[in-house]
Amino acid sequence: NLQVAGKQFWLGPSRSGLTVTFWADTSVIHLLVAGARIKSVRSHLSVADLVQLAARGGRAAGPSPLPAGDGVAFEVDRVVNNSGLVNLGGRQVLAAEILGGRQVGIRIDEETLSFFDPSSRELLRVRPNPLTSEKVQGLHGLRPAGPPPRPRVEPVRVQRRVSAVGTVMVCRQTVSLGRPYAGQTVTVHVSDTTIT
């Protein structure tokens, strides 16, 4: 296990002693060993977290380690079971338990499976692709891929009750509203760079 910015990453005992590089932004975190990507997970990091990592010795990440998209990509639709798995080519592939019972689109690239909402094409999860090209060609409902799914860009809305001293906590950041708002419930819009 490795821990970065309050989150643990399981790599297994076979990778014990190896140097792992993290490529991170606010959408996705890639784990690399010797320059090869071994795992991709949805990012929990905010812009403030990235600034803090840079202040602690992190360096500019450079381009994403994902393929540039020159290869052929395909898509299928599947329903995620209650355990967070989908069946692809006779294999149970982990999407995410939180997606259980939900219909998802799956973009199949050479190296990754991108799980997305079929109506909005919002990116939900990224996983390594365990399928060979022969298995991909045999999938039921296979079609050419549309545009790559993207993470949500509109601000997320959350509600908070203002404390007795006039502050709310959002994304581990204290926002001062002033004592006149104490006890009130406020709606906060959170984006990558702003809290309003």
Taking residue 162's Cβ as centre, other Cβ atoms within 10 Å add up to 20
Residue % of the chain over a pLDDT of 90: 30
First to last CA, the chain: 36
Average pLDDT over residues 49-73: 74
What's the pLDDT band for 144 if we cut at 50, 70, 90?
A: confident
Select, from the ranges 26-35, 141-150, 154-163, 179-188, the one with the highest average predicted confidence (pLDDT).
Answer: 179-188
Question: What does the alpha-carbon distance between residue 69 and residue 175 come to, in Å, rounded to a whole number?
Answer: 40
* Residues 14-35 as b or e (16 or more Cβ within 10 Å = b): eeeeeeeebbbebbbbbbbeee
Asked if residue 45 lies in contact with residue 9, where contact means CB atoms within 8 angstroms, the answer is no
Task: Please name the fold of domain 74-144.
Answer: OB fold (Dihydrolipoamide Acetyltransferase, E2P) (2.40.50)
- Whether this model's pTM surpasses 0.75: no
* 102 pLDDT higher than 70: yes
- Sequence spans of domains, the chain: 2-55, 74-144, 156-190
What's the pLDDT band for 67 if we cut at 50, 70, 90?
A: low
Question: What does the alpha-carbon distance between residue 22 and residue 49 come to, in Å, rounded to a whole number?
Answer: 14
* 88 pLDDT higher than 80: yes
Burial of 125 (0-12, 13-18, 19+ CB in 10 A): buried
* 82 pLDDT higher than 80: yes
Average pLDDT over residues 188-194: 78
pLDDT number for residue 66: 63
> What are the residues whose beta carbons fall under 8 Å from the beta carbon of 190, sequence distance 6 or more?
155, 156, 157, 158, 170, 171
* 146 pLDDT higher than 90: no
Q: What is the mean pLDDT of the chain?
A: 84
* 94 pLDDT higher than 90: yes
Q: Which of 195, 89, 82 is nearest to 142 (CA)?
A: 89
* 32 pLDDT higher than 70: yes
pLDDT number for residue 108: 93
One-character DSSP codes across 128-172: E----HHHHHT-TT-EE--SPPB---SPEEEEEEPPTTSEEEETT
Average pLDDT over residues 1-26: 77
